[in-house]
Amino acid sequence: MKKDIYIGLLTPWGVPLLEKTLQNWSDVDINKFMELHNFIVYSSKQETKGRYHFKLIRNNTYLALEEQIKKTNEVTNKLKNITLQGVWTDQKQYITLDGVFSTRSSFINMHNYIKDAEEEVLIINESNSSNTVLHLTGITPYIILFFDKERKFKGASYSIQNGDGDFRITTSYKYILFAKHPHEINLDRVLYLRFE
């Protein structure tokens, strides 16, 4: 059976920013064809700050999970903005994150989380293991800030790779912040991490 695929990106006032109809396609429900794809939308000329990812799902799937999706979005929005707090109340450095990811794995392949040269990414390490391995081969150039479970700053390292060998770091810390290098973070004024 053939179907037409309508793609539309609507504005809040109803005017479509994008409209496209793909005519006479084979049944799009076979093997979850449409759900295999993502849309990537850039809202500005900046390569990463204005990027949004859209996952395609069936409408009945969305309706069944609507409340859960809303709650997840609310939590994600709260985590988007973080503050690196210093000793004094005026020592604040504000960061808008490109991504926040929670994982329970004791081996974290950062290629799963940094895919498009993101500027700032926060990893929340939920692993029960005493040590977690960060696979950083090809993840460059970044500075990595480590915070314990109370979100106190414990130190920093760099992921700047020039050779072809594997590069990994072992850590026991819960919060791991990746910031593209060069950066404007003043490490001397970082005492702990705070969510806005």
59 and 119 housed in the same domain? no
66 and 95 housed in the same domain? no
> How far is Cα 73 from Cα 69, in angstroms, rounded to an integer?
6
186 and 90 housed in the same domain? yes
Q: Of 53, 73, 93, which residue is a domain's last?
A: 73
105 and 142 housed in the same domain? yes
66 and 109 housed in the same domain? no
Confidence bin at 123 (pLDDT 50/70/90): very high
Q: Of 47, 73, 99, which residue is a domain's last?
A: 73
Q: Among 19-28, 84-93, 137-146, 184-193, whose mean pLDDT is lowest? A: 19-28
Average pLDDT of the residues in 121-127: 92
Number of structural domains found in the chain? 2
46 and 124 housed in the same domain? no
139 and 119 housed in the same domain? yes
> How far is Cα 49 from Cα 51, in angstroms, rounded to an integer?
6
Pure H helices in 5-146: 59-79
* Strands 107-109 vs 132-135: parallel, antiparallel or unpaired: parallel
CATH of the domain at 92: 2.60.120.1140
Contacts of 145 (CB under 8 A, 6+ apart): 84, 153, 155, 156, 176, 177, 179, 185, 187, 190
69 and 84 housed in the same domain? no
Average pLDDT of the residues in 40-63: 65
> How far is Cα 136 from Cα 123, in angstroms, rounded to an integer?
13
Sheet holding 153-159, edge to edge: 99-103, 120-125, 175-180, 142-147, 153-159
**Per this entry, what is the length of the chain?**
196
Confidence bin at 52 (pLDDT 50/70/90): low
What is the SS3 assignment for 62? helix
Domain of 27, in residue numbers:
2-73
Q: Of 39, 73, 107, which residue is a domain's last?
A: 73
Q: Comparing C-alpha atoms, which of 120, 123, 84 is closest to residue 102? A: 123
Q: What is the pLDDT of residue 110?
A: 93
For residue range 68-115, list pLDDT tens digits in order.
777 766 666 656 788 999 988 889 999 988 888 888 899 999 988 887
